[in-house]
Amino acid sequence: MTVQAIPQNAAPNHELPDLIWPEKSGDIPDWIYTDPRVYELEQKRIFQGATWNYVGLEVEIPKRGDFIRSYVGSVPVIVVRDLREQVRVFENRCAHRGAEFCKSYRGNSRSFVCPYHHWTYDLTGKLAGVPFRNGVDGKGGYPEDFNLSDHNLRSLNVTVLGGAIFASFSQDMPSLEDYLGPELYGEFTTIFSGRKLKMLGIHRNVLQGNWKLYQENLKDPYHATLLHTYLTTFGLFVAGNKTGIVADKDGRHSALLNAKPEGRPDNDASKAEIRSFKAAMQLADPSILEFNKEFDSPWTSSAITIWPNLILIRQLNILSLRMIVPQGPNEFMLVWTAFGYEDDSPELEQHRLRQNNIFGPGGFLGIDDNEALRFVQDGIKRSLPRHGVASLGKDVEPMDTVITDRAIRSMYKHYREVMGL
Ligand SMILES: [Fe+2]
């Protein structure tokens, strides 16, 4: 194949005039994954713009003074329960010289003290004191017009839904219900219904790819039916299952829904195109795939992608969150949080923990995506520029069409609007 020319007749973007999106529907230019200027603009317009970003669970900070470190885009933040039990989110950046002062992943504290010059903030992010404000023996110190209140931590807008905490740099945001839209709100509140949660564990891993590849990955049923031997062979997601894709009206969030049939999938003609389908493969312990129906939902799994930084997964009895933390154009961190409910039986909790081995950095199928995304980033980074193709299916099609890139295209339609590309 020849190298594709970038069309020159599309309207240029004001901030990045040399970057022109290809005209053909479904074409995705390489530079959105690699160009540092695009990455910077994403931080400004998406993560620091009018978006709700997942930052943690209320159950991680149950008591006054409990805090966790988290991120909004690349910006480090602290999520804390203040003395009046209100959840606060502020930048993890000292107002003095800019130090990322909190280095503990989680803890309990009455205040935050920057280690560099000991500026001290209370749990609402207010600057409570600075050492040597008036100098020593009348010499030195800050000028008379120095006000503590001019140097508070930068606070973010916060909202909580069913125990999940979201933050925004924008103070003018719709409710999370309106932000998600009715299609996704229903899926979200099936899991976050207000029932008390219980943390089962957290792990983090760094992936060598652009952060958007992970959003794409969970909006991409095509790969799920092909790449993942575990999903196809044991019927968790195989072409022919009852499936659906729903998206919000702006196309930025979506949910990939699937109903696993009883038992193993038939080894019929529909599996001939699936090289990852291994009819002879057996599980030594099939109990890992047991499903205790716990929600009033026709789906055994839903993969909900919430723009811009959250994946909410329900797969059999696995409940987990994946928070995307971009770390430059070519790298992002995933923070995986597995949870259940406080009133789960000990057996169900054990089952959830065991079942969680399916996902995660070393999981039975999570590892496939880690590799595939790295292959994509390597390919894009190291070869001559051309466009990727996401032209499967139609933009308007029945919800149960599964061999489609519809949700990827709708995400990029929204992305282009926000980015002015
Ligand atoms: Fe995957």
The count of structural domains within the chain is 2
User: Cα of 148 to ligand 1 centre, how many Å?
Assistant: 50
User: Cα of 263 to ligand 1 centre, how many Å?
Assistant: 22
Query: Is the domain of 114 the same as that of 194?
Result: no
Q: What is the end-to-end Cα distance of the chain in Å, rounded?
A: 26
Name residue 367's beta-bridge partners. none
Q: What is the DSSP string of 55-115?
A: EEEGGGS-STTEEEEEEETTEEEEEEE-TTS-EEEEESS-TTT-------SEEE-S-EE-T
User: Cα of 103 to ligand 1 centre, how many Å?
Assistant: 32
User: Cα of 380 to ligand 1 centre, how many Å?
Assistant: 19
User: Cα of 366 to ligand 1 centre, how many Å?
Assistant: 7
User: Cα of 109 to ligand 1 centre, how many Å?
Assistant: 39
User: Cα of 368 to ligand 1 centre, how many Å?
Assistant: 7
SS3 227: coil
Structure tokens at 279: 């009819």
User: Cα of 217 to ligand 1 centre, how many Å?
Assistant: 6
User: Cα of 154 to ligand 1 centre, how many Å?
Assistant: 37
SS3 169: coil
Distance between CA atoms of residues 191 and 381, nearest Å: 38
Query: Is the domain of 285 the same as that of 381?
Result: yes
Residues 6+ positions from 111 with CB-CB distance below 8 Å = 120, 121, 122, 123, 128
Residue 199 included in any domain:
yes
Distance between CA atoms of residues 372 and 227, nearest Å: 9
Residue 232 has phi, psi (to 5 degrees) of -75, -45
SS3 180: helix
**Residue pointed to by tokens 């910077």:** 40
Residue 37 included in any domain:
no
Query: Is the domain of 155 the same as that of 294?
Result: no
Query: Is the domain of 269 the same as that of 390?
Result: yes
Give which of 285, 286, 350 is closest to 317, Cα–Cα.
350
Residues 6+ positions from 369 with CB-CB distance below 8 Å = 214, 217, 227
Query: Is the domain of 144 the same as that of 192?
Result: no
Query: Is the domain of 204 the same as that of 340?
Result: yes
Residues 6+ positions from 82 with CB-CB distance below 8 Å = 64, 88, 122, 123, 124
Residue 17 included in any domain:
no
Query: Is the domain of 141 the same as that of 199?
Result: no
Q: Are 125 and 134 in contact (CB under 8 A)?
A: no
Distance between CA atoms of residues 307 and 415, nearest Å: 10
Q: What angle do CA 130, 132, 137 make, to 5 degrees?
A: 160
User: Cα of 352 to ligand 1 centre, how many Å?
Assistant: 20
User: Cα of 227 to ligand 1 centre, how many Å?
Assistant: 7
Query: Is the domain of 367 the same as that of 219?
Result: yes
pLDDT, tens digit only, all 421 positions of the chain? 444 444 444 445 667 888 999 999 999 999 999 999 999 999 999 999 999 999 999 999 999 999 999 999 999 999 999 999 999 999 999 999 999 999 999 999 999 999 999 999 999 999 999 999 999 998 999 999 999 999 999 999 999 999 999 999 999 999 999 999 998 999 999 999 999 999 999 999 999 999 999 999 999 988 988 898 888 888 887 777 888 999 999 999 999 998 888 777 777 777 777 888 888 888 899 899 999 999 998 898 999 999 999 999 999 999 999 999 999 999 999 999 999 999 999 999 999 999 999 987 788 888 899 999 999 999 999 999 899 999 999 999 988 888 899 999 999 999 999 999 9
User: Cα of 218 to ligand 1 centre, how many Å?
Assistant: 7
Query: Is the domain of 229 the same as that of 355?
Result: yes
Instruction: Supply the range of the domain harboring residue 82.
Output: 53-159
Query: Is the domain of 267 the same as that of 321?
Result: yes
User: Cα of 73 to ligand 1 centre, how many Å?
Assistant: 22
Angstrom CA distances, 124 to 55, 78, 89, 376, stand at: 17, 11, 9, 43
Give, as one character, the DSSP assignment of residue 122. Answer: -
Query: Is the domain of 131 the same as that of 188?
Result: no
Query: Which burial class, exposed, middle or buried, applies to 65 when counting CB atoms under 10 A from its CB (0-12, 13-18, 19+)?
Result: middle
User: Cα of 104 to ligand 1 centre, how many Å?
Assistant: 32
Name residue 312's beta-bridge partners. 304, 321
**Residue pointed to by tokens 């049939």:** 261
Distance between CA atoms of residues 315 and 372, nearest Å: 21
User: Cα of 120 to ligand 1 centre, how many Å?
Assistant: 45
User: Cα of 316 to ligand 1 centre, how many Å?
Assistant: 16
User: Cα of 27 to ligand 1 centre, how many Å?
Assistant: 21
Residue 192 included in any domain:
yes
In CATH, what number is assigned to the domain containing residue 239? 3.90.380.10
| 153-176 exposure pattern, b = at least 16 Cβ within 10 A, e = fewer | bebbebbebbbbbbbbbeeebeeb
User: Cα of 34 to ligand 1 centre, how many Å?
Assistant: 22
Q: Which amino acid is at 259?
A: A
User: Cα of 221 to ligand 1 centre, how many Å?
Assistant: 8
Residue 3 included in any domain:
no
Distance between CA atoms of residues 220 and 202, nearest Å: 25
User: Cα of 228 to ligand 1 centre, how many Å?
Assistant: 7
In CATH, what number is assigned to the domain containing residue 140? 2.102.10.10
User: Cα of 152 to ligand 1 centre, how many Å?
Assistant: 42
Query: Is the domain of 208 the same as that of 138?
Result: no
Residue 172 included in any domain:
no
Give, as one character, the DSSP assignment of residue 189. Answer: H
User: Cα of 372 to ligand 1 centre, how many Å?
Assistant: 9
User: Cα of 373 to ligand 1 centre, how many Å?
Assistant: 9
User: Cα of 59 to ligand 1 centre, how many Å?
Assistant: 28
